[in-house]
Amino acid sequence: MAIPGLPPPKPIPIKDRASLVFVERAQLDVKDGAFVAINADGTRTHIPIGGLACLMLEPGARISHAAIALAARTGTLITWVGEGGVRLYSAGQPGGARSDRLLWQAQLALDPAARLRIVREMFRVRFDETAPERRSIDQLRGIEGARVRRSYELLAQQHGVNWKRRSYNTGDWDAADVPNRCLSAATACLHGLTEAAVLAAGYAPAIGFLHTGKPLSFVYDIADLWKISTVVPEAFKIAGQAAKGKLDMTPDRAVRLACRDAFRRSGLLAKIIPGIEDILAAGALPKPEPPKDAIGPAFKDKEGGGDDGHRG
């Protein structure tokens, strides 16, 4: 915490920080020099803001200008999300303050050999096996697509869902059948959580490797690593319950609640942040050195202590 007349404390490296804290139904402010969450009854809870990579504000949370300013000075990302991080509405520092990581990510994406190595590593992580040799990125994308479609078919059979194919129209939500709406809601939840992780780690959501040309290409790349093992089963489970008339709410809301609980139960965000760098390391290109005089949690301090960026 900064003290008038004294230099601000050195930011804590990202690897030494707790990944995130969720806050709901509280007022965030700076009182008596401390970052606090104030409940409706006036109870204060101190939050060690400089020790967090990301502060996620859920519905009912409000934050003051002073609190935003302090979070910025300590390098903590502020995001506004749905319950449990199922949607990311906005981020206080889009793209993070990591010029070294942005440059590394761009360098990897522009190098054809490095990009292919990363896509192959994504395949290995996603399917727990080595990608076939002598395959292009387009060919690997086709193989992955076939496997995902097969996974959908198997989960549909398991949960008694009448599954035809993946089909949806973002401009007409009601045009899709219930299983497709459930799957769309589930993937939207995962994309929100993943985008928060990408931003907190200091990377650009738009610079992808398997996916390209979209504002969230890298988010899709990283989310796909966990999609089949996390939110897709929840989607088909809810779709099966809907088919049997066992839901007391709309299917898409039931999916969001199920994903929220799954994220909290599994601590998925804490796995995504270190997983990002493990994936990019497969590109086998060295990271640029961060500026030694830069201010922020992700940069080395002047005495040589620093952040290898591996743990969030």
- The per-residue pLDDT for range 149-200, each reduced to its tens digit, is 999 999 999 999 999 999 877 667 677 899 999 998 899 889 888 888 888 8
Calculate the average pLDDT of the chain: 83
Please tell me the CATH code under which domain 99-281 is placed: 1.20.120.920
pLDDT at 308: 34
265 against 137, higher pLDDT: 137
Say what the pLDDT of residue 18 is: 56
Answer yes or no: is pLDDT of 129 > 80. yes
d(CA 160, CA 158): 6
pLDDT, position 310 = 31
- Give the DSSP per-residue string, 76-110: -EEEEESGGGS-EEEESSTTTT-HHHHHHHHHHHH
Confidence band, pLDDT 50/70/90 cuts, at residue 5: very low
**Mean pLDDT computed over 292-301:** 43
Positive or negative, the CA dihedral 17, 19, 25, 28 is positive
Say what the pLDDT of residue 77 is: 81
The DSSP code for 312 is -
- For residue 98, what pLDDT is reported? 65
- Best mean pLDDT range from 20-24, 120-124, 163-167, 252-256: 120-124
pLDDT score recorded for residue 304: 34
Pick the range with the lowest mean pLDDT from 71-80, 132-141, 275-284. 71-80
Output the pLDDT for position 262. 86
Q: What is the pLDDT of residue 173?
A: 65
Per residue in 60-72, pLDDT (tens digit) is 999 999 999 898 8
Q: Render pLDDT for 243-292 as a digit per residue (tens, 0 to 9).
A: 999 999 989 889 988 988 888 888 887 888 889 999 999 999 998 776 56
Q: How does residue 7 score in pLDDT terms, banded at 50, 70 and 90? A: very low
For residue 161, give every residue at least 6 positions away whose Cβ sits within 8 Å of its Cβ, in sequence order, or none: 155, 179, 236, 239, 240, 243
Among 38-47, 66-75, 255-264, 298-307, which stretch is predicted with the lowest mean pLDDT? 298-307
> Which pLDDT value is given to residue 216?
92
Report residue 45: phi and psi, to 5°: -120, 120
Q: How far is CA 125 from the centre of its chain?
A: 17
Amino acid at site 275: G
Under a CB-based contact definition with an 8 Å cutoff, are residues 310 and 274 in contact? yes
User: Per-residue confidence at 140, pLDDT binned at 50, 70, 90?
Assistant: very high
Residue 21's pLDDT is 79
Q: Residue 125 has what pLDDT?
A: 96
Count the neighbouring beta carbons within 10 Å of the beta carbon of residue 302.
Answer: 10
Domain boundaries, the chain: 1-98+290-312, 99-281
How many residues are recorded in the chain? Answer: 312
Confidence at residue 104, expressed as pLDDT on a 0 to 100 scale: 94
Q: What is the pLDDT of residue 10?
A: 53
Specify the CATH number for 1-98+290-312; select among 3.30.365.10, 3.40.462.10, 3.100.10.20, 3.20.20.70: 3.100.10.20
pLDDT > 80? residue 55: yes
Between CA 92 and CA 44 the distance in angstroms is 23
